[in-house]
Amino acid sequence: MQKILASVLFFLNVFVVYAEEPKLTFAFSEHELFPYQMGKGIYFPKENPGIYIEAVRFIEKQVPIKVVIKRIPTKRIWTELEYGTVSSTGASYKPSRKKFAIYPYKTDGEIDPNKSLLTGSYALYVLKKSSVGYNPKTNRFINISYKKGIVAEIGFSIVDDLRKSGNLIEENAAGNYAMLQQLSLKRIDGIVAHVQIIDDILKKYPQEFKSISMAEPIIKTKNYYFVISHQFYKKYPKISKQVWERSAEFRQKRLQKLQYKYRSLRKNEN
């Protein structure tokens, strides 16, 4: 009887080992991108880490996964996604990214916007007295001095969208704050960036960047998703789909309240 019991316990232990929850490694950049990821460097703040991290925690509670979160340079995120050392990150759609990761698709093969996590808009920021602008009819910038030009953060999908229309854009890895400094010093003609992120920096440093404003109209609004690496999706297709379903649930049930919370936090800081 004892031998039988020992055998049963052995096989149960083996089953538990093989039934461990899969590890889903999320990667985000080292820069602060309010309100999506807070703080700088390799760690997130324990409290109020940003909407992306709150979404990850929401998903972790409902999907059978063990979550790992790390911060690395933006360009490296896509390299690690390609090799499978990173399983997911937050991103908008860009055709070339399909090489690195998988988006949630509908049955007709189109990207499923209902599985998106959030939306974000991009705009051009210039000096207030500048004649530099954006023409939505041609999708082109106007009155650009090509010795200075337009700059955007490296890896952002909006860069490819604008280059297709013939715009010359330089990519910068220094972050949004550094790009705003370059603009205020008249070293560049303008920057293309995420509206909510740049508006937050302008409100946080009103004196330093008082000469900068957004040039109407908005260039483009995009859906953002938690993309999944090919390796993770191939091994865990059901869990990957659950991540997208819970992302949609997060957007519907939690996103608006969290956006309000982070705006309130910024107001209290100021």
Q: Are 63 and 152 part of one and the same domain?
A: no
Q: Are 39 and 54 part of one and the same domain?
A: yes
Alpha helices in the chain, H assignment, sequence order: 2-18, 51-62, 74-83, 157-163, 176-184, 195-204, 230-235, 237-253, 255-269
**Integer Cα distance of 27 and 87 in angstroms:** 8
| CATH code of the domain containing 215 | 3.40.190.10
Q: Check if the beta carbon of residue 31 is closer than 8 Å to that of residue 72.
A: no
**Integer Cα distance of 56 and 18 in angstroms:** 24
Alpha helices in 164-209, H assignment, sequence order: 176-184, 195-204
* Residue 47 pLDDT grade (very low, low, confident, very high; cuts 50, 70, 90): very high
* Residue 156 pLDDT grade (very low, low, confident, very high; cuts 50, 70, 90): confident
In this prediction the pTM is: 0.84
Q: Are 216 and 230 part of one and the same domain?
A: no
Question: What is the rounded average pLDDT of the residues 194-212?
Answer: 94
Q: Are 129 and 41 part of one and the same domain?
A: no
pLDDT tens figures, 217-249: 999 999 999 999 999 999 999 999 999 999 999
Q: Are 134 and 179 part of one and the same domain?
A: yes
Cis? peptide before 95, omega within 30° of 0? no
Q: Provide Rg for the chain, Cα atoms.
A: 22
Question: Residue 54 is encoded by which pair of tokens?
Answer: 């709150």
**Integer Cα distance of 209 and 180 in angstroms:** 7
Q: Check if the beta carbon of residue 247 is closer than 8 Å to that of residue 116.
A: yes
Q: Beta-carbon neighbour count of residue 39 at 10 Å? A: 17
User: Which of 205, 222, 239 is the last residue in one of the domains?
Assistant: 222
Q: Are 87 and 124 part of one and the same domain?
A: no
Q: Check if the beta carbon of residue 140 is closer than 8 Å to that of residue 202.
A: no
Q: Are 112 and 10 part of one and the same domain?
A: yes
178: left (phi over 0), alpha (psi -120 to 50) or beta: alpha
Exposed/middle/buried for residue 216 (C-beta within 10 Å: 0-12, 13-18, 19+): exposed
The candidate with the shortest Cα–Cα distance to 265, out of 119, 30, 36, 48, is 48
Say whether pLDDT at 8 is over 60.
no
Q: Beta-carbon neighbour count of residue 102 at 10 Å? A: 20
* Count of domains observed in the chain: 2
Helix, strand, or coil (residue 217): strand
* Residue 37 pLDDT grade (very low, low, confident, very high; cuts 50, 70, 90): very high
Which of 123-127, 151-155, 255-259 comes out lowest in average pLDDT?
Answer: 151-155
Question: Residue 230 is encoded by which pair of tokens?
Answer: 């090919």
**Averaged pLDDT of the chain:** 91
Q: Are 145 and 212 part of one and the same domain?
A: yes
Contacts of 115 (CB under 8 A, 6+ apart): 104, 225, 244, 245, 247, 248
Cis? peptide before 217, omega within 30° of 0? yes
Q: Are 82 and 130 part of one and the same domain?
A: no
Domain membership of residue 169 as a residue range: 120-222
Q: Are 112 and 231 part of one and the same domain?
A: yes
| Distance (Å) of CA 222 to CA 62, 68, 156, 250 | 26, 26, 11, 17
Q: Are 112 and 134 part of one and the same domain?
A: no
User: Per DSSP, what are the bridge partners of residue 121?
Assistant: 221
Q: Are 33 and 68 part of one and the same domain?
A: yes
